[in-house]
Structure 1
Amino acid sequence: MMSSPAADGRIRPIDPADAGEVLTLQRAAFVQEALIYDAVDMPPLTQTLEELEAELVGNLGLVAVDDGRIVGAVRARVDGDLLLVGRIAIAPDQQGSGIGSALLAAVEARGRDAGAGTAELFTGSLSEANLRLYEREGYRESERVPHDDGTFQVFLRKPLG
C-alpha cells in the first residue's frame, strides 16, 4: 500500500527543473476540468514548457512527491498582502487522498512567512469538487466574474492570521 506524500511530509518547494513533470501532471489533472467546461483551450492545457519554466522562477509553490514521482503541485506568489494561489494539480490517480489539502496548508504557511495576510485563489463555478475542497479548507467566496458561456470565475479568500 502506498502512503500519501501528505502524510509522510514529502512536500518540497517547486523548482524550475520540475517544469517538465509539473506540466505533464497539470495537463493530466486539468483534462477533467476541460471536459466539465467543454474547453480544450484552457490555459493549464495550453501553457508551454518555456512559460512554465519562467513562471517557476521565484515561485512560492510546492510539489508533493511519492516514490520519486510528482503527484501534486501548487503555485503561488505574494502580491502586497495577498498570497495568490494557482494551478493546484493532483495526479488523477491520487485525487481524494489529501494531497490537495496538504499542499494548500503548506503553501499558506509559506505565504504567511513571506508576509501575506490573506490567500486568494479561483476556480470555475462548475468545478464542484474544487469549491468543496476550498470551502472545507476555510476559503470563502469573495467575487464571481461572469463568462460569456453562463459560467463564473469564482474567487475565494482565506485569512492567513
Structure 2
Amino acid sequence: MVVTLRPAIQSDLATVHEIVRAAYTHYIARIGRKPGPMLDNYSALISDGRVYVAERDDTVQGVLVLVPQKDAMLLDNVAVAPEAQGSGIGRRMLEFAEQTAIKAGYGFIKLYTNEAMTENIALYTRFGYAETHRAEERGLRRLYMSKVLGETRNQV
C-alpha cells in the first residue's frame, strides 16, 4: 500500500486532533500530564503550513509537524493512528521530514521528546538520531536529538 504525504488543510483538523489524542493519551499516566503535542494549536500550525498528513487508502493515518528554524529543521511531532502503527507510516513520515529538510537547505534535523517516552527514543536512535542533551522545560523532562542529513550512522 502506498503512503502519500500532503500539507494538511483546515478540514483535516478534527482528524489531526484525533490521531494526536490517540497516539499520545497512553503517555499521560507515565509523565503525569498531557504530552506537549496534545497541547499544540493545530489550527494555527496548519495555517502556517507546518502540518503534513500521511494518507493510505484515502484515509489520513499519520500527522507530521515540521518547523523550520535558523539552524535546522525541527521535527516537532510524528503521530500515527494506533491501528496503523507498525505499518511503515512512521518510517515514511521520518523519510519525508528528512527529504523536506534537505530540500530546504538544512544540514541536519533535530527533535525532542519526553525522556519517559523510551519507545520513541529507541525508534529515533534506530533511524540515526543521536542524543545531544537533556533539559527540563515547562515542567517536561525533554531529551534532545539530532541527525546529520545524508548519513546513515548516528551523528550529533
The answer to whether 1:116 aligns with 2:110 is no
Measured after TM superposition, the shift of residue 86 of structure 1 is 1.2
SS class of match (1:100): helix
Contact preservation (8 Å) 1:82, 1:120: yes
Q: Is 1:154 matched with 2:121?
A: no
Q: Which residue of 2 aligns with 1:11?
A: 5
**2:18 corresponds to which residue?**
24
Superposition pairs of residues 121-140 of structure 1, within 5 angstroms: 121-140=111-130
CA contact (8 A) 2:3 2:56 kept: no
**1:84-131 CA-partner distances (Å, limit 9, x unpaired):** 111211111122222111101111101111122110111111111101
Gaps of at least 5 residues in structure 1 are none
Q: How well do the aligned residues superpose, as a CA RMSD in angstroms?
A: 2.1
Q: Percent identity?
A: 28
Give me the TM-score of the superposition, normalised by structure 2. Answer: 0.84
Unaligned runs of 5+ in 2: 151-156
Contact 1:64–1:99 (CA under 8 A) maintained in structure 2 = yes
Residues matched between the structures, number: 150
CA distance in 2, matches of 1:66, 1:76: 20
Matches of residues 15-94 of structure 1 in structure 2 within 5 Å?
Answer: 15-39=9-33, 41-47=34-40, 51-94=41-84
SS in 1 for 2:23: helix
Contact 2:62-2:78 within 8 A present in 1 as well? yes
Contact 1:14 1:61 (C-alpha < 8 Å) held by counterparts = yes
Distance in 1 (alpha carbons) for counterparts of 2:36 and 2:136: 18
CA distance in 1, matches of 2:10, 2:103: 21
Q: CA deviation at 1:63?
A: 1.5
> Is the CA contact 1:29–1:92 (under 8 Å) kept in the aligned structure 2?
yes
| 1:15-73 alpha-carbon deviations (Å, 9 max, x no partner) | 3432221111111111022132131x4333344xxx31111224344221123321111
**Residues 83-92 or 56-65, more deviating:** 56-65
